[in-house]
Structure 1
Amino acid sequence: MKNNAKEYLVEFANSQDDWLKALIYGAIESNGAISSERKNEIFKCLQNSNVIEYSIPNVVDSDNETEIFLSKLIHKKGVNALSENQTIKFNDNVTILHGLNGAGKSGYFKIINEIVGGNQIKEILPNIYKDNPSEIDVEISYRECVNENKISWDGKTRSLEKLNKCKVFDASYLNGLLETRQNDTTLIQPLSLNIFTYLIDLVDKFKNQLITNSDKKRLQKPSIDLTNISERNQNVFLNHNLTESKKIEITKLFDFSNERAKDLDDLNKDLSILKQINIQDRIKLLSDNKNSIEKLKEWLTKNFTTLSDNITEAKKILEDKKEKQLASNKAKEQFEVLKNVPLSNSNEWKEFIIAGQSYSEILTGKESICPYCLQELQSDNSVKILKAYGSFLKDNSERELKKVLLNIQAKLKEIEALSFDYQFSEGTIQILKENTTEDKSIYEIVLDIIKYFKDVKSKIIELIKNEDSHSTISVLDISALTAELNFRVENLQSQIEKYSKEDTEKKEKIKLIEQKLSLLKENKSISLQKNNIEKWFELTSEETALKKKANKINTRQLSSLSKTANDDLLTETLKIKFNEELANIGYPNLDVRIENAGTKKGVSSTKLVLSRNNDIKAILSEGEQKAVALALFVAEVRMQKQTNPIILDDPVSSLDHKIAGKFAERLLNIDNQVVIFNHNRLFLDSFETSKPNHICKTIDTDCNKNHGKHIKVYEVIGQSKHSKGILRNYKGNYSKNHINEAKKLLKQVPFEDNTKVANLLRLCVECVIDEVIFNHQVPTRFSNKNSRIAWAELKNIKNDSVLVDSLERIHGRVSGGEMHNGTERNENPIDIDEFNRMITDIENIVN
């Protein structure tokens, strides 16, 4: 069973490409905060297939149940500006390295962080103030069961075997740990699960960057003139679809020889000559002439037929009229009474009678009334005449006669409307004139025929008007003329076919030449654009490669592994312990629950969610985030099978003193060995004032106190920019200790430690101010002690001006005479006797 997301990731990375391995390992070693430089390096590995170096993180073996304890760390040389040969002896309970910012604490923390494989790689620099910095030389000792082990470390590796069981808390622990999901809930990703989210987002960014860079490659391609490029090759450039075969085909056209250049010129000349030959105009002229003659022939034939038909039809109508007239006369003879009526056979009289008959038909029962004057008829004869005409008019012979008369009039109008005027084109006239028979041109013959047509028309009109159906009219036969015109049409058609064949041959020649020209022009165009095309090919290959790489990238495997890790690691036990630690640290109003966080990229996973129990609608403050992270850190420690060391760097920054005090109390109650790097004085007070426990008075030997936990406190000081990280006993910062050390140095022969003795006496004066003047009392505003006001001790504070003047004199002398390079040091140095007198004066004040 794995205990951390890093274990899942290291196992997953084994089968991945180098770039993804480097990305995963980098995310593990930086706790989800890979530097921009490293990300760029990894991306270049992905994009350009560069070789990349990476080291496989040494992740803790979850199945190893043996515990370890840190014993000792010796910085021999080489790390930052840390003083050489400084030793930290770790207590099995609590070890605190306390000092101001810039004193050198971070140098020791970086050493331990790299040795145990902390959350994030910390860059360790050599002493930049030295011309020839020393190589890193650190020695660390640890105890496993009863066996003491010692390791030398040169700064080139991290997460050493066994020692990587230690768990580290620093600012990087919060990387990706908390994610505000709603205004009253926070998503928590403990046990390095945040690295999954970080990696998935980063892989997506890499993929999108590949696509963006691919698009940039396309935009960077030079413009290719496609004017003379074949369509099949145009598609390559227009669609950016370059295959290897197409690339080879186009590359072969990069060379355009002088011979091919000459062929191009010759073919252009041939094409120009061919295009100057205008056969189409000839064909059009012949076709127009042919069409005009065919039209003339059709016109003549049509009019010949029209005239012939009209002669026949006119005679027939006249014969029909005679027949109908006889029938009408015969009918009238049957009505004798009508003989006495003058002009009774005239059309006018017939129309007159028809009108009267129509009117009398509507005068029902008034047969004896005249339909014209509406007067009574005066005689029987008048009545008989009217009745006789009524019967006459109902006879069919008269209607048929009338119909024939109408047909005669219609035919006459039809013939009168015939036109025999023909519009000849100039070309037609020319052709007809060029062609002759024995004594006349065809044109003259056509004109004679047209004149004859007109004469026939006049004769037909005359025939109809005279009602002479026996008159002889004939139409001249035009078959000889139409045969001659047909011959001319066939002759023109023959010429058209001849020229059409020549035109087809010309077009085929042009097509063949143009095909050859297109190949030569394409060859020439490609050769002239060789550099641009080669650049285009190069950028297209890069574009295609980037797209293939982008398409290959998929975060599904990572997402699926993230789900597995979340489901395995986010247990009910972790939730309970986390809730307990939140309450221990002072946040009982925050509630932890496990829930399904929904589906992302097709994978559903379990998440740890933090929410408030009240109605406050606000995200966690900076201090609350830090407190939550500390509570989660302790909960994770408690989830481990072993109680291995934990290391914390400035854990209570951003926390108020109450929460810091509760956290100090919590650290003193866990079973793990605790190492703290601290600059917060109130946090240190919380350890000092812990009643069940005690601050060890010595740092070099074991403490003989047996109540509560041992708390070993180192004070880290920096004497100068060249000398930082000097370690001394926090409890040893008393005037007597500084005096004893100064006396030892003054006894050395020869005496050369003027500066060191001066510094010791300066510190001694400052300690006397705390010990004698203030009688060890601390202003209440700076104290974290439970019993904050020692009233009895306040009465023993010494406000003696003579005593203060004496201390000021000594402090000023050692500060000016030896601590600074100047005239006083050179012309009035402090000798051994003066140092001894200062020590005597200080001892008199203390005692």
Structure 2
Amino acid sequence: MLLGESLLGGKMSLLQEIVSWAAGLPTWQSDALRRLFSQGTLTSRDEAEILAMAKAHHKLVPPEAALAPIPLQSSHLPTSSAKANPTVLLTMQDVKNVNALAPGHKISFAPKGLTIIYGGNGTGKSGYARVLKRACRARDGGGAILPNIHGAGPHDLPEASFIIAADPPVPVNWKEGTATPPELAEIAVLDSNCSRLFIDEAAVISYAPYGLDVFPKLGRLLTSFKASLEAERERLNCRDSILDELSGPTSVGVLVSELSATTTKGQVEKLAALSLPEQNRLEELEKRIAELKANDPTKEAEVLRRLRRRLALCKTQIETDNGVLGAPCIEKLRNAWQAADLAGKAAQEASSRTFDKEPLAGVGSNPWKELFRYAVQYSALAYPDKKFPFTGEGSRCVLCQQPLAEDAKSRLARFWAFIVDKTAQEAQRTRKEADALIEALKAARPFSPDQELIQEINERAPGLAALLEKHPTRFREEAKSVLESITSGALPGAVSGFSDTLASLGALDAALEETINQKVLLAKPEEMAKCVAEYDELAARRKLGKYKDVVLAQITRLIDISKYGDCIASLKTTEISRKGKELTEKSLTKALQDAFTDELKKVGMNNVHLDFKQSASQGQTRHQLQVPNTKAPKNTLLSEILSEGEQHVIAFSAFLAELRVSGLKNAVVFDDPVSSLDHRWMERVASRLVEEAKERQVVVFTHNVSFVVGLSKEATSHGVPTHAEWLRRFENVPGHCSPEFPWEVLTASKRIKVLTDICAEAKKVYAIDPEGEEYQRVHDKFYDRLRATWERSVEELLLNAVVLRFRSGVETRRLSRVVIDDEDFAIIYSAMSKSSEETPAHDHASGLHHELPSPDDMLKEVEKLKQYMDQLKKKQDAVDLRRLAATKPKTGA
């Protein structure tokens, strides 16, 4: 797909500059660009593979977990050669593994002028067009080509052969997944998905030349990656509670408090390893402290203070659990559930009383309320200065937009009164309150005390130790009971909560506090403090050895978080936006702007012009299209004004403008260049295609018979060589090609050959059985088509196509060749009478024998028609010259 190659004059081409710029990107970003150029859009699989490459690049996953990136290179892009002869397609053949296309067929292309390839739905047109788009690197890429599910093997790739015009002709082979042959890469392809128009999030229609659309696509890809990676990084921001136990005024505590991605495994292992002398010293300190404790009340008090601190942490956790599952909370849940039930019944009762006579059931239900809420929001847009509900003069329903009748106004008022009624609001509020309490209970996880603490408490309060040991099981059983009650629709029963545990903790804490106060009075701190500090240091290191894996795991998390940070930092779109803006400024030359404006005028889009004010964000640089002198409100979006057909025409014009500026005359392919939803533009697009076909080979795929007729007649009227290919299903297999159009599309002059062929067929059948059913069939077919051809001759030739079927306008300028005299009338009357007499619709008298005309008689009818066409042309040429002379302005003497 060659466009954008010559937009920068003699400097480096646009596409080459993109390749050069991509060389400085991370290889995975360059791979993304390669896929965007090759395919047009990225599938979810593409995005997953590229994200895996990005993670592997930043060592978030091992290399084997991602594909090796394939950076963008010149070979992945269209090429431009300064050769004297443009690229011209002669045939496409040997198409294999493409949908269910029939094998062995060949599509021929006119080397000069226009090739029209017509096929209705299910005839294989899209399959052939998709091969061209994939082989020629269309901007959209044509989408994935599926093989015949009933024929091709699971690994058979689509392929096709082409013949390129040369002396001698050059065969070129293409296969999916391989490099595009350079000859095919020079052919431009446009379809509705290869649009030069973009509709952004604000529905603003903008334009960007080929090649520049990859920048916004890459920017959006990186932005989506950023959101995904930030979510993954957030899940790593957790901390094991063991680390809190290692904190404190020791070297281990300092290490834990300063853990980072740069903390090494060696630092942790060095601190965690106690030498034999250090182990002996720790044992010695344990004995000495025990002795000092026996004689030093201060140390004993410190032990008790530590226990108190741990008890305080334990109490906080139990209070948290009690706040979720305690008697007050469950009572609150019971009340909220009961209140929600009562309020819901009250609201339902109010709804039943209020809306029992409404025409539709379900008024007042939750779906109805949601619908009504959107109606209220839209009313603020439709009637910004009116309070809802607006039922005044000229009011309309905000949903169906029909004028409001009096009963509708009354109903709307009742609906609003119900919505704002405190009964309904109270039902909603109480339900939310009950649901919040239930969700909190579901999400809660019970506190599980460690065994060391339980054992220490057991020495002083065995009953409390038993309560703490049973606490997790007790919490889960009570929570399960409450949730099961709610699930069954019943009110949860009373729960005991954990007030007994909290009371026991309070009692033990009070006892410890009293004991500590007594010990403090007998303190001897000097020697004890010294020993404890040394002991704490060695004990902390011993504990670090026990939980070394926890610390190393935390370091690994911090390293991954750092890697995620680096990866996320590489997703900035600033440079992409800058480069896109820079290249846009270079490529949108005045020549391209003028060409685009001229192309818009050629197709009659005089109400649209380009606003070249740029904006850049997330890799996007846009040039907005505007409609001048419109009476629409100031902020009306162009996408709200232009029809789909008009948007197709603008994209068509942008494509042709780029072709013009490129200066190259290679073949160009159009797939359904006009929208079937808007017939107004068909003639203008057809005229522009015919004009282009005078300069280069033009190939048009279409499923629209009206467009085929108009395009064929336009080409004929301008003397542009036209070749036709008709795609059809035969024996329920699509892809069969015929080098002509179906009968309905053929012009009167081209039907002469078909009629002559029928005469030849009739001669063969007549020789076998001149009165048989087969000859009758051929006879009927001939005269039916003869009559249709005379009718088409009147339309196209006698009336010189002033008025045509499938065309919306009357071309009065063609009247210069219209001349009808008595001789025309007599000839046409006689021919139509004869053909009508012989058509199957004519019922002959049952008692008379009707002798069928011979094949020679049929051939004479064809000659008569052909002679009349030649005679009419001479007469029209003469009158055209006479009238042309008469219409020339007279010069003064």
Q: TM-score scaled by structure 2?
A: 0.54
CA distance in 1 between partners of 2:150 and 2:784 (Å): 35
CA distance in 2 between partners of 1:89 and 1:190 (Å): 31
Describe the superposition over 1:553-597 as per-residue Cα deviations: whole angstroms up to 9, x where unpaired.
Answer: 4434323322221111111221222112112112111122433x2
> Partner residue of 1:250?
268
Shift of 1:549: 1.9
The answer to whether 1:90 aligns with 2:109 is: yes
CA distance in 2 between partners of 1:60 and 1:109 (Å): 18
Change (3 A) 1:501 1:163: closer
Shift of 1:172: 2.1
2:20 to 2, 11, 17: 11
The structure having more radius of gyration, on CA atoms, is 1
Shift of 1:163: 2.4
Contact 1:581–1:631 (CA under 8 A) maintained in structure 2: yes
> Partner residue of 1:274?
292
CA distance in 1 between partners of 2:215 and 2:630 (Å): 31
SS in 1 for 2:650: helix
CA distance in 1 between partners of 2:545 and 2:677 (Å): 77
Which residue type is aligned with residue 187 of structure 2? Answer: C
Shift of 1:171: 2.2
Contact 2:191–2:673 (CA under 8 A) maintained in structure 1: yes
Contact 1:72–1:90 (CA under 8 A) maintained in structure 2: yes
**Unaligned residue ranges in structure 1 (runs of 5+):** 282-498, 695-706, 748-759, 807-838
1:771 to 775, 785, 791: 785
Shift of 1:11: 2.2
Change (3 A) 1:785 1:94: farther
Shift of 1:761: 12
Contact 2:273–2:541 (CA under 8 A) maintained in structure 1: no
Alignment root-mean-square deviation, CA: 4.8
1:79 to 98, 118, 134: 98
Give the % identical residues: 20
CA distance in 2 between partners of 1:716 and 1:763 (Å): 26
Contact 2:190–2:669 (CA under 8 A) maintained in structure 1: yes
The range that moved more, 571-580 or 770-779, is 770-779
Describe the superposition over 1:779-824 as per-residue Cα deviations: whole angstroms up to 9, x where unpaired.
Answer: 9996339789999689659778993699xxxxxxxxxxxxxxxxxx
CA distance in 1 between partners of 2:561 and 2:523 (Å): 53
> Partner residue of 1:679?
703
CA distance in 2 between partners of 1:737 and 1:539 (Å): 82
Shift of 1:770: 6.2
Alignment of 1:651-800 (within 5 A): 651-654=673-676, 656-670=678-692, 671-690=695-714, 693=716, 708-730=719-741, 734=754, 771=785, 783-784=806-807
> Partner residue of 2:189?
168
> Partner residue of 2:325?
none
> Partner residue of 2:420?
none
> Partner residue of 1:639?
661
Which residue type is aligned with residue 209 of structure 1? Answer: S
CA distance in 2 between partners of 1:111 and 1:604 (Å): 30
The answer to whether 1:520 aligns with 2:542 is: yes
Shift of 1:684: 0.7
CA distance in 2 between partners of 1:82 and 1:550 (Å): 46
1:44 to 49, 52, 57: 52
> Partner residue of 2:603?
585
Change (3 A) 1:649 1:743: farther
Which residue type is aligned with residue 35 of structure 1? Answer: T
Describe the superposition over 1:599-637 as per-residue Cα deviations: whole angstroms up to 9, x where unpaired.
Answer: 658x99784644333333442332221111011111111
SS in 2 for 1:594: strand
> Partner residue of 1:541?
559
1:575 to 581, 590, 593: 593
The answer to whether 1:629 aligns with 2:645 is: no
SS in 2 for 1:107: helix
1:123 to 137, 144, 147: 144
1:207 to 220, 223, 226: 226
Contact 2:206–2:622 (CA under 8 A) maintained in structure 1: no
Describe the superposition over 1:519-575 as per-residue Cα deviations: whole angstroms up to 9, x where unpaired.
Answer: 223333x15xx3x55544443332221111222444343233222211111112212
Change (3 A) 1:280 1:207: closer
CA distance in 2 between partners of 1:541 and 1:763 (Å): 85
Change (3 A) 1:685 1:239: farther
**Unaligned residue ranges in structure 2 (runs of 5+):** 8-12, 58-65, 300-520, 747-753, 768-773, 796-802, 812-817, 844-853, 863-893
> Partner residue of 2:244?
226
Change (3 A) 1:514 1:79: closer
Change (3 A) 1:517 1:251: closer
Which residue type is aligned with residue 37 of structure 2? Answer: I
Shift of 1:739: 9.3
Shift of 1:710: 1.0
Shift of 1:52: 2.8
1:157 to 178, 181, 187: 178
Q: TM-score scaled by structure 1?
A: 0.57
Describe the superposition over 1:16-62 as per-residue Cα deviations: whole angstroms up to 9, x where unpaired.
Answer: 3220111111222233x211210111011101333335374533344
1:102 to 119, 122, 129: 122
Shift of 1:140: 0.9
Contact 2:105–2:735 (CA under 8 A) maintained in structure 1: no
CA distance in 2 between partners of 1:257 and 1:804 (Å): 114
> Partner residue of 1:35?
43
Which residue type is aligned with residue 278 of structure 1? Answer: D
Contact 1:179–1:188 (CA under 8 A) maintained in structure 2: no
CA distance in 2 between partners of 1:223 and 1:737 (Å): 93
Alignment of 1:231-630 (within 5 A): 241-245=260-264, 247-251=265-269, 267-268=285-286, 270-278=288-296, 504-524=526-546, 526=547, 530=549, 532-595=550-613, 597-598=614-615, 600=617, 607=623, 609-616=625-632, 617-619=636-638, 620-630=642-652
Describe the superposition over 1:232-281 as per-residue Cα deviations: whole angstroms up to 9, x where unpaired.
Answer: 65566667623242x33335677899999998777545433322213779
Contact 1:2–1:8 (CA under 8 A) maintained in structure 2: no
Shift of 1:709: 0.6
CA distance in 2 between partners of 1:723 and 1:634 (Å): 31
Contact 2:592–2:658 (CA under 8 A) maintained in structure 1: yes
